[in-house]
Structure 1
Amino acid sequence: MIEAQNSKGLQIGIVGAGVAGLSAAIALRRIGHECEIFERSLFRNENGAAVSIPPNGGRILKRWGFDSVKTGGIEIKQVRRPKGDTLEPMAPTIDFSDIPSRYGNEWYFYHRVDMHRQLRVMAEDPELENKPSVIRLGCQVVDVDPEEGILTLKDGTTVQKDLVVVADGQHDILNQKITGVDTPMQRSGQTAFRCLIPMKDILEDPITKPLFENQAPGFWAPALPAKGVMCVTYPCRNNEILNCLIVTRTLKSQATSDEDQAIEDWNFPASPAMLEAVLDGFHPSVRALMMKEPNIKMYTQMKRDPLPKMFKGKAVLIGDALAPKLLTHAQGVSSSIEDAAALEVLLKGVESPGDVTSQPSAKLTERLSLLETFRLPRQSATQILTEPIVPGPMFIEMGKKAEARIRRYYQGPLPPMTAVPHSVPICDFFFGYDVTREAETVLAAAERINQLAAEVKATVNIAQAEVPESPLRT
């Protein structure tokens, strides 16, 4: 058994060194806690893909000192949605030039590797305030004892902490230990193909050059709705690379029965024949664009029902380990950052008992309970909202069913279920949400209740002390 050293700050073990885990480490380091991150991979071949960070996540990163320019961020300015076969506008172009003024921060695209490296620097940099986080690569956590805060590694080593933050993504296997129920991942009905293409190659090709020449950066998303296929592209890494994603609901080779194996590996190779079948019916320039990269990867997009709780004892779930998202509203990464920011507010001033074998303090338990009261409902609502509602005869009815599902977990304001992605109601709901302010409000209310309770108790004690003793009867 490896035990942490005594200190005033909590000794925290974080499972996973993805964006959620690193964000948690940065947030908790800022308030004086000491974090040790356990990551199963060796980071020798990080996944090549882009990531979209809307203002609700970007505001937090900026407050932490994240340098968007240094990380190669590209500010989104528009959304173009052409018909896949003719490239005529399917819907009006959405102008996002007012995003910073409306929501207090830009909306950026990053190369995932670039963003990840910058977060690692912020977590590990010895020059920054408080003790740097320690990242243990090649350390796979296979079990957790939430009540004792004990992590078991694949090699049999056990590590005990004041708090365990489970942040290892949608394929997390530890959530059942915290919730007490088995909530398996399920197929969403969609398969995604992905690749990265150098913008230089695109702009040098007369067939693909007109698609992006003299265009402000943003989403370009040609689709064939009747076929159930949408291509989503956007630039990253200083506009040097175009991130391409093709999502299909109708791929015949997709697993369709419980006995078939879902493709969960992001680096699973797709054959050119499969990609050509998916792109059948698209405009020649779209096919030319998507076929530029010979190494196309594919994976099955998965979803899961909301979990009934997010903490138990000395362990808490955050990010996709808590509530995996589909790609519809670009909230997977940002909601993970929100969870970390909420921990930053609620765990400030929570001290270590000095012995990791001790039971969690009443203060830690209270703060984790507060976290669950407002983050779990919000995460559950976001999780369901990212499941796309397919346009068609059942559109309104499907929206009503989705809202009824959400209301089982969340009673706050919602955008109309008929609102399309990137519309003002959707953006207001996600981008306008300030998790730090929400956490501060929840904490202030709880502290006021505790204060009132203490005052009532003190008043009762004083009153009891002032009551004269009854004379003895003879």
Structure 2
Amino acid sequence: MVSSSVFSPSYPTRSTTFLESLRRQGTTDDHIDDTGPNGSRHSPPQAAVPLKVIVVGAGLGGLATAIALLRRGHSVTILEQASALGEVGAGIQIPSNSNRILLSWGLGSYLEGKAVEPEGMTFRRWENGKPIGYTKLVPEFRQNFGSPYYVVHRAHFHDAMHKLALQLGVHIEVASRVVSFNAEEAKVEVAGGKTYSGDLVVAANGLKSMARKVILSGREKPPSRTGYAAYRATVDVETMRSDPELCWLLEKPSLNIWIGEDRHVMTYTIAGGKSFNMVLSHVDHSDPTTWNENRNTLEDMRNYFKGWDPCLTKIISMIDKAMKWPLLSGSKVDRWVAPSTKLIMIGDAAHAMVPYMSQGAAMAVEDGAALGEILSTVESRDQIPHALKVFERVRMERSSQMQEASLLNGKIWHFADGAEQEARDESMRAEVEGRHFVASANQWSDPVTQWWAYGYNAEEEVLKAWKASLTDPKPLSNGVHSML
């Protein structure tokens, strides 16, 4: 067999991806993955310079970072302000670019019976549900990107990550709210006065992270309001199944998105197919501090979608509880790594984004994976500052482009009926009709966007950039990805 490494074109092309597909044959099957509870199917090389790392925040990004580092022989302590681990919310998507990483780590066995693999994603016209765009996910995403595309309950996802981290030996301190960061000494203090220190502190503590101001030398750069908000809710599957007008939505696992002027609704089943997840997004410039979750929430939500597809509004009428969330996007910052290189931020602390590409958590997983890869490749402590700067540059470019792509969908999906809407729908028509196409307003299907989003390998990209930085004295040049 000819190794795919023999062919490494310097220009953008996917003409050699068939070799990568050939290499993957026999490494995946029809199960969630072929790994067991002991972690990766292959034991990864251990770090030449084992580090003591303090991770602040036990959310998905913090756990991903801990797992990536633990697998390579580093010592990790997670500090979590909550008194017990858990996640709020409902459904979350695990796209192939992050799922490939997670399954290689051994997460699959912990998701068994909980994750759902949708067969496809259908965009529907707001007023009647007519299909106007379609992305086939099965088997294309497994074949093209080496990993399935999953949807899952956020709590089940978080629990699976927590169990894997525990199995690998993470130490988690709950009820440990960090009140100060010392960037010069890689030290944090928690409420009550106790301090923790290590070789590196990773702030994975979300939108309101105190670390961001420390890293930015006192500058305030909080995430900004985007003018979008979303209601999140679930509907009982059995109630829908008993209704002849709705049961067709449950015949096979699928994502459905109704799009119209200034709003859209995304739906899919989660919890192993037992619950119907809904995210109802809309333009909203009101101040979130004025919102009252206990007053008029359901009525306001239903009014936003009054007159839409009767099938959709019938499902909305079944919602008995919903939460409204403002959708924020991270402000542009010039660094994620403190000047001391002993404190960094990742995930929503660094790059919050609207969920319109379903990549927010995936970017945090990529951050953790990339950090684990580059810190496990350094050969001496003297190389760590440089490695973190390479990590910063690669991940800043990737996440900022995903923020941009997510906001773009908020524009593309929300056209009022008219010339732009008609042109958008026409650009997606070939997907619905099963014809060949070279471009699409549907970023899940658009060939260039699809391979950029889902074919990206965060571990390979940061390793490639690291190796290039050691041999080329010029500034690192980003943008040439391994999937091209």
TM-score, structure 2 as length reference = 0.76
Amino acid at match of 1:369: K
Structure 2's unaligned 5+ residue stretches are 1-47, 422-437, 474-484
Unpaired runs of 5+ residues, structure 1, are 1-6, 353-360, 397-415, 451-474
- In structure 2, the partner of 1:30 is 71
Mapping of 1:162-181 within 5 angstroms? 162-180=199-217, 181=219
Q: Residues of 2 paired with 1:48 and 1:378: CA distance?
A: 26
Asked if the contact 1:269–1:297 (Cα under 8 Å) also holds between the matched residues in 2, the reply is no
Structure 2 counterparts to residues 266-285 of structure 1, below 5 A: 271-285=297-311
Q: Quick one: distance in 2 between partners of 1:107 and 1:287?
A: 27
Using the alignment, how far apart are the partners of 1:236 and 1:327 within structure 2? 17
What amino acid is the match of 2:334?
Answer: P
Q: Tell whether 2:286 aligns with 1:255.
A: yes
Cα deviation for residue 269 of structure 1 reads 7.5
Q: Work out whether 1:108 is the aligned partner of 2:135.
A: no
Q: Residue in 2 aligned with 1:296?
A: 322
Aligned partner letter, 1:144:
F
RMSD over aligned Cα atoms: 2.7
Quick check: 292-301 or 40-49, which moved more? 40-49
Paired AA for residue 431 in structure 1: Y
The answer as to whether partners of 2:224 and 2:330 remain within 8 angstroms in 1 is: yes
The change in CA–CA distance for 1:185 and 1:444 in structure 2 (over 3 A counts) is: closer
What is the alpha-carbon distance in structure 2 between the residues aligned to residue 268 and residue 71 of structure 1?
Answer: 34
Structure 1 residue 184: deviation in Å? 2.1
Contact 2:329 2:354 in 1 (8 A): yes
* Residue 394 (structure 2) aligned to one of 360, 374, 383: 374
Q: C-alpha distance in 2, partners of 1:33/1:269?
A: 49
Distance 2:348 2:378 in 1: 25
1:93 equivalent in structure 2: 134
User: Which of 228, 231, 242 is the equivalent residue of 1:193?
Assistant: 231
Q: Which residue of 2 aligns with 1:446?
A: 469
Paired position in structure 2 for 1:240: 274
Q: Is it true that 1:390 corresponds to 2:381 in the alignment?
A: no
Count matched residues. 399
- Judging changes above 3 Å, is the alpha-carbon distance between structure 1 residues 301 and 92 closer, same or farther for their aligned structure 2 residues? closer
The alpha-carbon distance between structure 1 residues 395 and 309, as it changes in their structure 2 partners (threshold 3 A), is farther
Question: What secondary structure does 2:181 align onto?
Answer: strand
Contact 2:133 2:442 in 1 (8 A): no
Query: What SS does structure 2 have at the residue aligned with 1:420?
Result: coil
In the alignment, what sits opposite 1:401?
Answer: none
Question: What percentage of aligned pairs have identical amino acids?
Answer: 23
Q: What displacement does 1:40 show?
A: 1.3
Distance 1:48 1:299, change over 3 A: closer
Alignment of 1:376-455 (within 5 A): 376-388=396-408, 389-391=410-412, 392=415, 419-424=441-446, 425-448=448-471
Distance 1:372 1:262 in 2: 37
Deviation at 1:43, TM superposition (A): 3.4
SS at match of 2:463: helix
- Partner of 1:29, secondary structure, is helix
- Counterpart of 1:202 in structure 2 is 240
TM-aligned CA deviation for residue 232 of structure 1? 0.5
Q: Secondary structure of 2:225's partner?
A: strand
What do residues 14-70 of structure 1 show as CA deviations (whole Å, max 9, x unaligned)?
Answer: 111010000000000011111111111123663131110111101101110111652
Q: TM-score, normalised by structure 1?
A: 0.78
CA distance in 2, matches of 1:262, 1:387: 24
Q: 1:430, CA displacement in angstroms?
A: 0.6
Q: 1:417 to 1:298 in 2, by over 3 A?
A: farther
Which of 54, 70, 77 is the aligned partner of 2:95?
Answer: 54
Q: Is it true that 1:75 corresponds to 2:117 in the alignment?
A: yes
Q: CA deviation at 1:293?
A: 2.7
Q: Which moved more, 1:9-18 or 1:167-176?
A: 167-176
Whichever residue aligns with residue 366 of structure 2, its letter is E
